Structure 1
């Protein structure tokens, strides 16, 4: 129990949250482009920079940062939960022994499930707010009119029922493999480098963070597209199938995507996603590692920073 409620886990959680918020703010416009490419199927522009130029031209200079606050709030909560759970479970299971790739994958998976179940409502609301006021090419999309985070929660519960806040939960649960794979590769690459040197440089951390995220994103991207569509929830889908993103609906959306755009339709927006998530993850891990190391050094807990 002391491992779960430890100061070390709290430091990791705060550092992870600060790192993710910093990185997401820097690369936020890339996430806006990715979301438009995933949700608005009839958009002609295929490249990230063309979509961003279109958004700025049609909706204003600050449009790529629309929905920044709800996204950052959700990300802060989500990464705090994830890093806290990951490091607490690891401390309980490893107990001073050397960690292994298999253990990292299992711990990452469990931390991901806990994170999804607790934070999906936040992500549903921020997806809606991020796309509010967007000029869509797809006429099947029903527009929204929310005044803010609280009003979005209120309207979704009133009009669609409380379970609508967990739209996209099934693909989200399947997607816990994304951070699990990411952390498995990140921790594994880190261990390999630490065999050859005593300390990792900022560039080492940035590069292994980028490689780990690139692998995880490419493997799980089709499910991320389905997750975005279900969280947005404004497509005219069969209403009885939409709740919680039932398996039937997930398979239906995947099938529709392949039928209309071919197999590459499952990877629409991947360029923007890779650019955004790889750079964001690399910067996040860099801030995270530096912040945890600095905190443990200041507090005189040098050994606590070792994984």
Structure 2
């Protein structure tokens, strides 16, 4: 097995474990991102009676109370598929292009140019290429995950809008009070169908056809800089740590699982803070657009979403739920890097042992 395949499988395994552990935080964070809150003086243009959310912990308990554990883990199945595919594809291509970059650096050194190490710009290019291929291949899965995570929230907003429309109609004297009560009771009695992966896929296809599965692809492609920044920080920090250890003659160049965990956390923190606004825009585009029934809250594309968010909700809307995302993404990245490195170490140890005993088996 090549080291690219080994890294791809290790990345997929680490990604699945990290996703399961941090998924409730991801669900709450996605709901925070798509929640609309108007600026002062813009109430008429945004959702009515919208309140600012409480803390992340409070929201987790609210979801548990109203929807149970199924609410926190809504969309987990396609998310695990997406994580396995995404991490596998990303780490496979990352290792392939990393090997090429290292080979080029060594060739340049043999020609008397450079010191044989891969520079920071090269790490960025390698991560960007791997990230772009990953995004193009797995974006449909993440569209489904976003829809499933925000479905309950979207349906609740639609019901609120219908209820307010009935109340407004009654205030204008269009029908009698008893009829109003009947209509409100009828509205409250509506039971929503179970919202599974197939239902979400059909809904997306009916709204925008096959291209609907690539909604938000522009900010998602731009967000390739997130893992690029993440891996630049990670690889640079890892190289410095190993160089320092070699200089101090500590007798070992390998880093511990805890050190990888901390380096992964540092790398993801820097990447998340710098690219978070794009993540919010992507979530808005991928969520159900009928939230609140207000045309001003529907987005035709990336630029339209940015303009409307800035105009009606203010710049703070681009940073909604960032504290939750920092906790979730840093924890997930730390677990991912730690587990992935341990898987790779286990594979190397197994491969070395297998190569030693293989000649004896042949005899």
Is TM > 0.5 for Structure 1 vs Structure 2?
Answer: yes
Structure 1 residue ranges without an equivalent (≥5):
1-5, 243-248, 302-307
| Counterpart for residue 124 of structure 1 | 143
| TM-score (structure 2 length as normaliser) | 0.74
How far 1:151 sits from its partner (Å)?
4.2
Matched ranges for 1:148-187 at <5 A: 148-187=196-235
How far 1:135 sits from its partner (Å)?
6.6
| TM-score (structure 1 length as normaliser) | 0.86
Which of residues 67, 73, 76 is equivalent to 2:84?
76
How far 1:112 sits from its partner (Å)?
0.9
Residue 230 (structure 1) aligned with residue 225 (structure 2): no
Structure 2 residue ranges without an equivalent (≥5):
37-49, 107-115, 163-190, 246-252, 354-363
Residues 191-214 of structure 1: per-residue CA shift (max 9 Å, x gap): 010112212112110111001001
Q: Is the 8 A contact 1:70 1:129 kept in 2?
A: no
Matched ranges for 1:1-307 at <5 A: 7-41=2-36, 42-95=50-103, 97-134=116-153, 138-139=157-158, 148-197=196-245, 198-235=253-290, 242=300, 249-300=301-352
Q: Is the 8 A contact 1:132 1:145 kept in 2?
A: no
Q: Is the 8 A contact 1:129 1:146 kept in 2?
A: no
The CA RMSD measured in Å over matched residues stands at 2.7
Report the Cα distance in structure 1 between the residues aligned to 2:210 and 2:316, rounded to whole angstroms.
Answer: 34
How far 1:133 sits from its partner (Å)?
2.9
**Structure of greater Rg:** 2
Seen in structure 2, the aligned counterparts of structure 1 residues 232 and 92 have a Cα distance that, compared at 3 Å, is same
Q: What is the count of residue pairs matched by the alignment?
A: 291
